[in-house]
Amino acid sequence: MKSLTKIKVDLLSILMNVTIKEVRPILILLMFLLVGAKSVTAQKAPPFSNDIMPDNKTYFFFQADRFEYYSIGDPSPVVWDVQGYIGTDIHKFWYKAEGEALTTEQEGEMEFQGLYSRAITSYFDFQAGLRYDLAYNSTDNNSRGFAVIGFQGLAPYLFEVDGSLQLSEDGDVSATFEGEIDLLVTQRLIAQPRFATNLALQEVEEWGVGSGINNVQLGFRLRYEIRREFAPYVGVSWNQKLGQTADYARLEGGEDSTLGLVGGIRMWF
């Protein structure tokens, strides 16, 4: 067995007999290894941050889908239907408001909703929250509250739909549904058919609501998008009250069917 001193002498002899030509490939290999290690170190992943996660971004949206003058004789109402949200792609807080006010009398009705919304598919949100109704005239005000559950989203063939089920503070159950679709005549001229209906399980005479299907509303609006976010429009709207709801309207001296021209502005940001 060789001694340690003998092994050292043999290694030194081998190294002294190696020429520069033989060492060159080894040096080149070492150089590539050093450069590669430095490149890997430079390309390490950045520190984690919620800012790079699209689902965690907070968005704000507001839309006045209808803000219009409804010409149906005297008095003619101003009608509005606005909604929007603040939140992420998955979780949102939706706010909604709609109503109408007569232009020549101190009379009108309004509806406000605040809803928690969660995405359940790529195209639909489940919503739950509260709704508050207010009706007023020159002598009296009336109000009521609801618990609300519903859905909102984009159905096949690009129909925008919004449906909800409500339970009032007095235990009355009702439901609403509306749908609309945008049909492009040109890139800026857009036709929008619209359908809406309301139904109730119980009659509520104080609010002029009968049991069953309360009404059917059909509309058609033609808008021109000066900008995508701002579009004036004209159209026609027809509202037919049904059953006991129509009876209550006639008893109060109102119309059970209205047909009129509308003109307004649609905007969003």
**Residues 28-42, mean pLDDT to the nearest whole number:** 52
Look at the domain 59-268 and name its fold.
Porin (2.40.160)
**Amino acid type, 184:** L
- pLDDT given at position 11: 47
**Amino acid type, 145:** G
Give pairs for 235-239: CB < 8 Å, separation 24+.
235/192, 235/261, 235/262, 235/263, 236/260, 236/261, 236/262, 237/70, 237/261, 237/262, 239/215
CA distance 260 to 74: 11
Q: Mention every residue, 6+ apart, whose C-beta is less than 8 A from residue 123.
A: 153, 154, 155
Q: Which residue has the higher pLDDT, 183 or 25?
A: 183
- pLDDT given at position 44: 54
Q: Is the pLDDT of residue 119 over 80?
A: yes
Domain boundaries, the chain: 4-42, 59-268
- pLDDT given at position 123: 95
Label residue 252 by pLDDT band (50, 70, 90).
confident
**Residues 228-256, mean pLDDT to the nearest whole number:** 94
Percentage of the chain with pLDDT > 90? 71
Q: Mention every residue, 6+ apart, whose C-beta is less than 8 A from residue 197.
A: 176, 177, 178, 213, 214, 215, 216, 217
137-176 residues labelled b (16+ CB within 10 A) or e (exposed): eeeeeeebebebebbbbeeeeeebbbbbebebeeebebbb
**Residues 73-96, mean pLDDT to the nearest whole number:** 93
Q: Is the pLDDT of residue 222 over 50?
A: yes
- pLDDT given at position 31: 59
Each residue's pLDDT tens digit, 224-239? 999 999 999 999 999 9
Looking at every residue in the chain, the average pLDDT score rounds to: 86
Each residue's pLDDT tens digit, 161-208? 999 999 999 999 999 999 999 999 999 999 999 999 999 999 999 999
Helices (H), the chain: 4-17, 20-42, 243-251
Q: Which residue has the higher pLDDT, 19 or 167?
A: 167
Each residue's pLDDT tens digit, 39-78? 444 455 556 455 555 557 899 999 999 999 999 877 789 9
Place of tokens 């809406």: 196
CA distance 107 to 267: 26
Q: Which is nearest to 208 in space by CA: 243, 238, 167, 177?
A: 243
- pLDDT given at position 155: 96
pTM for this entry: 0.78
- pLDDT given at position 54: 56
Helix (H) or strand (E) holding 71: strand 59-71
- pLDDT given at position 120: 95
Per mean pLDDT, which range of 15-29, 47-61, 94-108, 146-160 is the poorest?
Answer: 15-29
